[in-house]
């Protein structure tokens, strides 16, 4: 392996170790009590290395949001001439449901809710580096489909939020009110399918 590639690999391994360590501490003792020195010790790196990758604790938290919200389905790449809207929306909805059911996303969202009065920037990081990129991909997909005359949508950002909201409100938020509530694979699939039907009924050309 070339030296430059080796250095990049080592740097990425350290970055991931830092993110793992930070997530462990944030979930165990909260955002306020976690220090970058604790994270460095847990990750077996120097504090300087932590700062090299993440300039502030907020930036580090945002890096975790970015990672846990990383999607395996890029909605912006799903608009093709032979792709059926229902099939594509099901793929987008299933991936969103998968993300919402990730225990780390639920746990980190609880941290944000608990500490939001003191650290409102955490919610901003969740949106800016977590959910917003997913919404942007969906916006691009819808805009391309509109240009292909498959949808009639006047307000793309609103339509995207409506679609994701139909999934959010059933799969995600009730778990914050009813302890121990779980959503099965079959239930998640049903929620997504109904959201797709409702969306197509409103916006399909």
Query: Domains of the chain: which residue ranges?
Result: 3-55, 67-203
Q: What is the pLDDT of residues 107-156, one digit of tens each?
A: 999 999 999 999 999 998 888 888 888 888 899 999 999 999 999 999 99
pLDDT attached to residue 172: 94
Q: Which CATH number fits domain 67-203: 3.40.47.10, 1.10.260.40, 1.10.357.10, 1.20.810.10?
A: 1.10.357.10
Residue 129 is classified by DSSP as I
pLDDT attached to residue 8: 87
In angstroms, how far is CA 82 from the centroid of its own chain? 28
Which residues make beta-bridge pairs with 151?
204
Q: Is-contact 192 97, C-beta < 8 A? A: yes
Q: Looking at 30-178, list the stretches that DSSP marks H as alpha helix, in order from N- to C-terminal side.
A: 36-43, 47-53, 57-68, 85-100, 103-115, 121-126, 132-147, 156-171
Query: Is the pTM above the cut of 0.75?
Result: yes
Radius of gyration of the chain (CA): 19
Measured CA to CA, the distance from residue 89 to residue 95 in angstroms comes to 10
Mean pLDDT, residues 158-176: 95
Measured CA to CA, the distance from residue 155 to residue 104 in angstroms comes to 32
Q: Is-contact 63 39, C-beta < 8 A? A: no
Q: Which residues make Cβ contacts (< 8 Å) with residue 52, sequence separation at least 6?
A: none
Measured CA to CA, the distance from residue 13 to residue 15 in angstroms comes to 5
Domain 3-55 has CATH 1.10.10.60: yes
Q: What is the pLDDT of residues 56-100, one digit of tens each?
A: 999 999 999 989 888 777 766 776 667 788 999 999 999 999 999
């Amino acid at each position: 392996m070339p030296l430059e590639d080796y250095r990049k690999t080592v740097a990425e391994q350290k970055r991931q170790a830092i993110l793992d360590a930070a997530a462990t501490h944030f979930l165990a003792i909260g955002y306020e009590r976690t220090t970058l020195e604790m994270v460095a010790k847990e990750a077996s790196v120097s504090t300087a290395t932590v700062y090299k990758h993440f300039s502030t604790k907020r930036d580090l938290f945002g890096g975790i949001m970015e990672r846990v919200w990383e999607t395996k389905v890029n909605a912006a790449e799903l608009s093709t001439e032979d792709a059926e809207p229902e099939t594509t929306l099901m793929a987008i909805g299933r991936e969103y449901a998968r993300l919402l059911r990730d225990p780390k996303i639920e746990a980190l969202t609880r941290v944000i809710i608990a500490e939001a009065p003191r650290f409102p920037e955490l919610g901003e990081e969740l949106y800016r580096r977590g959910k917003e990129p997913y919404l942007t991909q969906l916006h691009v997909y819808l805009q391309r489909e509109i240009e292909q005359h498959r949808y009639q949508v006047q307000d793309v950002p609103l339509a995207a939020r409506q679609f994701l909201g139909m999934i959010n409100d059933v799969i995600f938020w009730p778990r914050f009110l009813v302890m121990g509530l779980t959503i099965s694979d079959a239930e998640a699939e049903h929620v997504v399918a109904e959201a797709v039907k409702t969306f197509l009924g409103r916006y399909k050309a």
